[in-house]
């Protein structure tokens, strides 16, 4: 499934999604740990930000200037309303090109919608968009391959690399794995936290 098709599917369920997720605390303790690891707390990216909510709120509270990107135009509209002090772009993460480096990059339950062939490219791009000492938090499916699944009566596409492949990509692109956690066992859901080991650009501003 192309990212644009995924975006249209999320457009069609945006109101439902926004209502379902507004009170969720899923992943917030992982984000708290990632924030504590950051050398600086200046700029953050939420890749696949959806309608916003807990992740962006926590980043804003920690003092980050947040940029959110998402493939769904309807989701971005909700996020802009919820977080008027953050910046949002309607763009596919596959096509997105970073205009700056970030102290934190979050991709919670978003990258598993990428086409399988784009997984390694996007993880590499996100790792390379980190400042020295910056931290990336992302989730993956835990099994190498592609599946489809139902959500709100719509059929969505999902893909994931094997855990060891994500670890390899992170290492090859200057990120040390701090945490890998199958947090929803026996569900195939894996959380990764990595930190950029090249400590350039760490001066506090």
Tell me the three state secondary structure of residue 138.
strand
Six token digits for residue 5:
């098709």
What residues does each domain of the chain span? 3-196
Tell me the three state secondary structure of residue 121.
helix
Six token digits for residue 69:
């990107």
106: β partners: 46, 137
Q: What is the pLDDT of residues 146-173, one digit of tens each?
A: 999 999 999 999 999 999 999 999 999 9
Six token digits for residue 188:
């195939």
CATH topology of domain 3-196: Rossmann fold (3.40.50)
Residue 82 — very low, low, confident or very high, per pLDDT cuts 50/70/90?
Answer: very high
Q: What is the pLDDT of residues 45-74, one digit of tens each?
A: 999 999 999 999 999 999 999 999 999 999
Give the C-alpha distances (Å, rounded to integers) separating 26 from 21, 23, 45, 135: 9, 9, 18, 19
């Amino acid at each position: 499934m192309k990212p644009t098709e995924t975006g249209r599917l999320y457009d069609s369920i945006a109101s439902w999604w926004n209502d379902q997720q507004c009170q969720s605390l899923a992943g917030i303790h992982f984000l708290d740990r990632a924030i504590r690891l950051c050398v600086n707390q200046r700029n953050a990216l939420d890749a696949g930000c959806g309608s916003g909510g807990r992740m962006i709120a926590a980043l804003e509270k920690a003092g980050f200037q947040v940029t959110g990107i998402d493939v769904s135009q309807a989701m971005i509209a909700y996020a802009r309303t919820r977080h008027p002090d953050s910046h949002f772009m309607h763009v596919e993460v596959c096509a997105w090109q970073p205009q700056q480096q970030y102290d934190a990059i979050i991709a919670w339950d978003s990258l598993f919608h990428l086409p399988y062939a784009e997984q390694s490219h996007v993880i590499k791009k996100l790792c390379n968009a980190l400042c020295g000492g910056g931290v990336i938090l992302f989730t993956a499916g835990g099994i190498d391959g592609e599946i489809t699944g139902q959500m709100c009566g719509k059929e969505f596409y999902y893909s994931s690399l094997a855990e060891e492949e994500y670890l390899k990509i992170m290492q090859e692109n200057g990120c040390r794995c701090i945490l890998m956690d199958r947090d929803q066992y026996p569900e195939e859901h894996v959380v990764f936290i990595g930190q950029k080991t090249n400590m350039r650009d760490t001066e506090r501003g």
